[in-house]
Protein backbone atom coordinates (compact mmCIF):
# COMPACT_ATOMS: atom_id res chain seq x y z
CA UNK A 1 0.00 0.00 0.00
CA UNK A 2 1.44 3.36 -0.95
CA UNK A 3 2.03 6.07 1.67
CA UNK A 4 -0.73 8.42 0.48
CA UNK A 5 -3.27 5.61 0.66
CA UNK A 6 -2.08 4.47 4.10
CA UNK A 7 -2.20 7.95 5.65
CA UNK A 8 -5.52 8.68 3.93
CA UNK A 9 -7.00 5.51 5.43
CA UNK A 10 -5.91 6.64 8.91
CA UNK A 11 -7.24 10.15 8.30
CA UNK A 12 -10.52 8.69 7.03
CA UNK A 13 -10.81 6.73 10.29
CA UNK A 14 -10.43 10.04 12.15
CA UNK A 15 -12.93 11.66 9.80
CA UNK A 16 -15.50 8.95 10.57
CA UNK A 17 -14.91 9.47 14.30
CA UNK A 18 -15.27 13.22 13.74
CA UNK A 19 -18.64 12.72 12.02
CA UNK A 20 -19.71 10.54 14.95
CA UNK A 21 -18.57 13.12 17.51
CA UNK A 22 -20.34 15.96 15.71
CA UNK A 23 -23.60 14.00 15.62
CA UNK A 24 -23.15 12.97 19.27
CA UNK A 25 -22.56 16.54 20.37
CA UNK A 26 -25.68 17.66 18.47
CA UNK A 27 -27.73 14.98 20.23
CA UNK A 28 -26.25 15.92 23.61
CA UNK A 29 -26.90 19.60 23.00
CA UNK A 30 -30.59 18.82 22.41
CA UNK A 31 -30.77 16.82 25.65
CA UNK A 32 -29.44 19.39 28.15
CA UNK A 33 -31.10 22.44 29.67
CA UNK A 34 -28.09 24.01 31.38
CA UNK A 35 -27.19 27.07 29.22
CA UNK A 36 -23.44 26.87 29.91
CA UNK A 37 -23.30 23.16 29.06
CA UNK A 38 -25.50 23.72 25.99
CA UNK A 39 -23.06 26.41 24.77
CA UNK A 40 -20.07 24.12 25.43
CA UNK A 41 -21.72 21.37 23.38
CA UNK A 42 -22.65 23.78 20.56
CA UNK A 43 -19.01 24.91 20.42
CA UNK A 44 -17.93 21.27 20.13
CA UNK A 45 -20.41 20.69 17.27
CA UNK A 46 -18.79 23.57 15.39
CA UNK A 47 -15.29 22.40 16.31
CA UNK A 48 -15.92 18.91 14.94
CA UNK A 49 -17.49 20.36 11.81
CA UNK A 50 -14.27 22.34 11.31
CA UNK A 51 -12.14 19.25 12.05
CA UNK A 52 -14.09 17.39 9.37
CA UNK A 53 -13.34 19.98 6.73
CA UNK A 54 -9.67 20.09 7.64
CA UNK A 55 -9.41 16.30 7.51
CA UNK A 56 -11.24 16.18 4.15
CA UNK A 57 -8.87 18.76 2.69
CA UNK A 58 -5.83 16.84 3.93
CA UNK A 59 -7.15 13.55 2.53
CA UNK A 60 -7.81 15.20 -0.83
CA UNK A 61 -4.30 16.68 -0.78
CA UNK A 62 -3.04 13.07 -0.83
CA UNK A 63 -5.18 12.40 -3.89
CA UNK A 64 -7.63 10.18 -2.03
CA UNK A 65 -11.39 10.40 -1.36
CA UNK A 66 -12.76 11.33 2.06
CA UNK A 67 -15.43 9.24 3.79
CA UNK A 68 -18.95 10.60 3.68
CA UNK A 69 -20.57 9.45 6.92
CA UNK A 70 -20.28 8.18 10.46
CA UNK A 71 -19.95 4.65 11.74
CA UNK A 72 -22.37 2.02 13.00
CA UNK A 73 -20.53 2.12 16.33
CA UNK A 74 -21.23 5.87 16.53
CA UNK A 75 -24.90 5.28 15.73
CA UNK A 76 -25.08 2.69 18.51
CA UNK A 77 -23.40 5.08 20.98
CA UNK A 78 -25.94 7.82 20.19
CA UNK A 79 -28.79 5.34 20.55
CA UNK A 80 -27.38 4.36 23.95
CA UNK A 81 -27.15 8.04 24.95
CA UNK A 82 -30.76 8.55 23.87
CA UNK A 83 -31.90 5.50 25.81
CA UNK A 84 -30.01 6.30 29.03
CA UNK A 85 -31.04 9.96 29.13
CA UNK A 86 -34.66 8.94 28.72
CA UNK A 87 -34.50 6.99 31.99
CA UNK A 88 -31.94 8.97 33.97
CA UNK A 89 -32.89 11.76 36.35
CA UNK A 90 -29.59 13.61 35.90
CA UNK A 91 -29.33 13.83 32.11
CA UNK A 92 -26.64 16.49 32.00
CA UNK A 93 -24.19 14.62 34.20
CA UNK A 94 -24.73 11.37 32.28
CA UNK A 95 -24.30 13.15 28.94
CA UNK A 96 -21.07 14.76 30.11
CA UNK A 97 -19.79 11.34 31.19
CA UNK A 98 -20.47 10.08 27.67
CA UNK A 99 -18.73 13.15 26.20
CA UNK A 100 -15.67 12.32 28.32
CA UNK A 101 -15.72 8.71 27.19
CA UNK A 102 -15.91 9.73 23.53
CA UNK A 103 -13.18 12.35 23.90
CA UNK A 104 -10.85 9.85 25.57
CA UNK A 105 -11.33 7.47 22.64
CA UNK A 106 -10.68 10.28 20.14
CA UNK A 107 -7.60 11.40 22.02
CA UNK A 108 -6.27 7.85 21.99
CA UNK A 109 -6.78 7.53 18.24
CA UNK A 110 -5.01 10.84 17.54
CA UNK A 111 -2.13 9.85 19.81
CA UNK A 112 -1.76 6.50 18.05
CA UNK A 113 -1.37 8.20 14.68
CA UNK A 114 0.95 10.91 15.97
CA UNK A 115 3.18 8.36 17.76
CA UNK A 116 3.23 5.78 14.96
CA UNK A 117 6.94 5.55 14.16
CA UNK A 118 6.29 3.60 10.95
CA UNK A 119 4.34 6.50 9.49
CA UNK A 120 6.28 9.70 8.93
CA UNK A 121 3.66 12.41 8.66
CA UNK A 122 3.83 15.34 6.29
CA UNK A 123 4.35 18.56 8.28
CA UNK A 124 0.87 19.86 7.38
CA UNK A 125 -0.71 16.60 8.54
CA UNK A 126 1.25 16.48 11.79
CA UNK A 127 0.43 20.12 12.55
CA UNK A 128 -3.29 19.60 11.91
CA UNK A 129 -3.45 16.39 13.97
CA UNK A 130 -1.53 17.97 16.84
CA UNK A 131 -3.89 20.97 16.84
CA UNK A 132 -6.94 18.69 16.84
CA UNK A 133 -5.50 16.51 19.60
CA UNK A 134 -4.79 19.54 21.80
CA UNK A 135 -8.31 20.86 21.28
CA UNK A 136 -9.74 17.44 22.16
CA UNK A 137 -7.65 17.46 25.36
CA UNK A 138 -9.11 20.87 26.22
CA UNK A 139 -12.64 19.62 25.53
CA UNK A 140 -12.05 16.63 27.78
CA UNK A 141 -10.86 18.84 30.62
CA UNK A 142 -13.81 21.20 30.16
CA UNK A 143 -16.27 18.31 30.12
CA UNK A 144 -14.83 17.15 33.47
CA UNK A 145 -15.21 20.67 34.91
CA UNK A 146 -18.83 20.92 33.73
CA UNK A 147 -19.58 17.44 35.04
CA UNK A 148 -18.25 18.36 38.50
CA UNK A 149 -20.29 21.58 38.43
CA UNK A 150 -23.59 19.83 37.66
CA UNK A 151 -23.11 16.83 39.98
Segment 36-71, tens digit of pLDDT: 999 999 999 999 999 999 999 999 998 888 988 655
Task: Give the pLDDT score at 49.
Answer: 96
- Torsions phi, psi of 5, nearest 5? -70, -40
Spell out the alpha helix ranges (H) of 32-71.
35-61
The whole domain housing 119 covers 3-150
DSSP assignments along 12-25, one per residue: HHHHHHHHHHHHHH
**Highest-pLDDT range among 3-7, 128-132, 141-145:** 128-132
Task: Give the pLDDT score at 90.
Answer: 55
* The model's pTM: 0.84
Confidence category of residue 79, pLDDT binned at 50, 70, 90: low
Contact 127, 58 (CB under 8 A): no
**CATH number for 72:** 1.20.1260.10
Report how many domains make up the chain: 1
Amino acid sequence: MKYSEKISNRLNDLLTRTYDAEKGYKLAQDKVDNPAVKKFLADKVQQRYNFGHELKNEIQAFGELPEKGGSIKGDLHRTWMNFTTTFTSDDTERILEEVERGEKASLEEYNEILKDEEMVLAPSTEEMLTKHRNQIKDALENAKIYEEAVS
